[in-house]
């Protein structure tokens, strides 16, 4: 008998097919009566497959007494209660490495788009304004000083790309990273003060909650740019909105938000802000690779092996 799996969000067709070959899949999303579905299947659910941002809400975890594994289609585990998972012996897996390049590409895209006012230029042409009006000058990308919050796999991939734009790179992390030559700055405010653009590439969760607060944004300053491809929770969102509205921060390129899919309406009309609906890993190629790793993690688990990408 195939193990029962609860699927919390849609995945690529080929991933869903592979999941269906391995497990009895129960789709919770799109179900009108979620409670009725859970009442009938919850006791036999042995696996959950979900995205990084959605994770597994604690109340739902508590309804799944036979749960053995939470397979995340992403790298973030901040939306899974890892302490409770460990206490109950529930395995948690992610899809590391395969999305690193895409997330770094998104960070650079947001950086280039923001500094060069690409979206503004696009809106300007589409609105038919070119023949009768002008646009303010953009800003040079080459040589801008880049600060990175969190020099993990994604942070390093961002740094490698920024090197090609001759950007001096500084970073902050819990401690200096030994095998890189980028400048380590212990304090986030100090880092923000020293750079033109600050990119957030740190994991979400309690340890990084609201790290980027009003003081950090003020240190980044009226010419400064904030890029976030990590988690909305790392930024104090209300402070970000007011810093942008009051001109204390120059601009922002944001792929992630505190309460997705809700984006503060105040940001919608700001020309100096570039917005994306959490798309950093959303390419066909990468979602296919992520799905393969997710399925490999589940396959290993149900074959009695420890999945390579297990974090708990």
- Which residue numbers are catalytic? 231, 260, 278
Tell how strand 225-228 and strand 197-200 pair up.
Answer: parallel
Contact call for residues 100 and 122 (beta carbons, < 8 A): no
Taking the least distance from each CB to ligand 8YV, the nearer of 45 and 106 is: 106
104-115 residues labelled b (16+ CB within 10 A) or e (exposed): bbbbbbbbebbb
Taking the least distance from each CB to ligand 8YV, the nearer of 99 and 192 is: 99
We find the least distance from the C-beta atom of residue 52 to ligand 8YV, in angstroms, to be 2
Give the angle 76-191-167 at the CA atoms, nearest 5°.
85
Taking the least distance from each CB to ligand 8YV, the nearer of 208 and 281 is: 281
Nearest residue to ligand 8YV, using CB?
52
We find the least distance from the C-beta atom of residue 90 to ligand 8YV, in angstroms, to be 18
Taking the least distance from each CB to ligand 8YV, the nearer of 40 and 209 is: 209
We find the least distance from the C-beta atom of residue 105 to ligand 8YV, in angstroms, to be 13
Taking the least distance from each CB to ligand 8YV, the nearer of 79 and 220 is: 79
Rounded-to-10 torsion of CA 256, 259, 265, 271: -10
The phi and psi torsions of 90 (rounded to 5 degrees) equal -90, 130
Angle of the 100-115 helix axis to the 118-126 helix axis, nearest 10:
60
**Which residues make up the interface to ligand 8YV (CB under 6 A)?**
51-53, 73-76, 99, 278, 281
The closest alpha carbon to 240, from 270, 271, 259, 212, belongs to 212
Contact call for residues 120 and 103 (beta carbons, < 8 A): no
The phi and psi torsions of 123 (rounded to 5 degrees) equal -65, -40
We find the least distance from the C-beta atom of residue 256 to ligand 8YV, in angstroms, to be 7
DSSP-derived secondary structure letter, 208: G
Rounded-to-10 torsion of CA 77, 78, 81, 82: 50
The rounded Cα 264 to chain-centroid distance in angstroms is 17
Taking the least distance from each CB to ligand 8YV, the nearer of 73 and 172 is: 73
We find the least distance from the C-beta atom of residue 74 to ligand 8YV, in angstroms, to be 2
We find the least distance from the C-beta atom of residue 193 to ligand 8YV, in angstroms, to be 29
Rounded Cα gap, residues 51 and 189, in angstroms: 32
> Which tokens belong to 266?
């105040």
């Amino acid at each position: 008998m195939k193990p029962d799996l609860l699927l919390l969000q849609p995945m690529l067709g080929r991933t869903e097919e592979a999941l269906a070959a391995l497990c009895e899949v129960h789709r919770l999303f799109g179900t009108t009566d979620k409670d009725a579905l859970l009442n009938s299947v919850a006791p036999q659910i042995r696996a959950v497959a979900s995205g990084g941002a959605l994770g597994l809400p604690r109340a739902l975890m508590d309804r799944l007494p036979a749960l053995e594994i939470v397979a995340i289609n992403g790298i973030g585990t901040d939306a899974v209660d890892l302490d409770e998972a460990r206490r109950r012996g529930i395995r948690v897996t992610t899809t590391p490495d395969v999305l690193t390049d895409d997330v770094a590409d998104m960070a650079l895209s947001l950086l280039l788009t923001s500094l060069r006012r690409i979206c503004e230029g696009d809106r300007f042409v589409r609105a038919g304004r070119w023949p009768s009006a002008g646009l303010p000058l953009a800003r040079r990308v080459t040589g801008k000083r880049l600060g990175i919050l969190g020099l993990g796999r994604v942070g390093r991939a961002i740094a490698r790309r920024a090197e090609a734009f001759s950007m001096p790179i500084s970073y902050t992390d819990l401690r200096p990273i030994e095998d890189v030559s980028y400048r380590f700055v212990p304090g986030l405010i100090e880092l923000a003060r020293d750079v033109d653009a600050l990119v957030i590439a740190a994991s979400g969760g309690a340890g990084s909650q609201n790290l980027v607060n009003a003081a950090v944004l003020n240190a980044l300053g009226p010419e400064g740019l904030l890029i976030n491809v990590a988690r909305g929770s790392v930024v104090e969102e209300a402070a970000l909105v007011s810093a942008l509205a009051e001109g204390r921060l120059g601009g922002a390129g944001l792929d992630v938000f505190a309460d997705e899919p809700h984006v503060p309406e105040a940001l919608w009309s700001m020309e100096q802000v570039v917005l994306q609906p959490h798309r950093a890993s959303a390419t066909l190629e990468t979602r296919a690779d992520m799905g393969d790793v997710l399925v490999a993690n589940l396959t290993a688990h149900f074959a009695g092996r420890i999945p390579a990408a297990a974090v708990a």
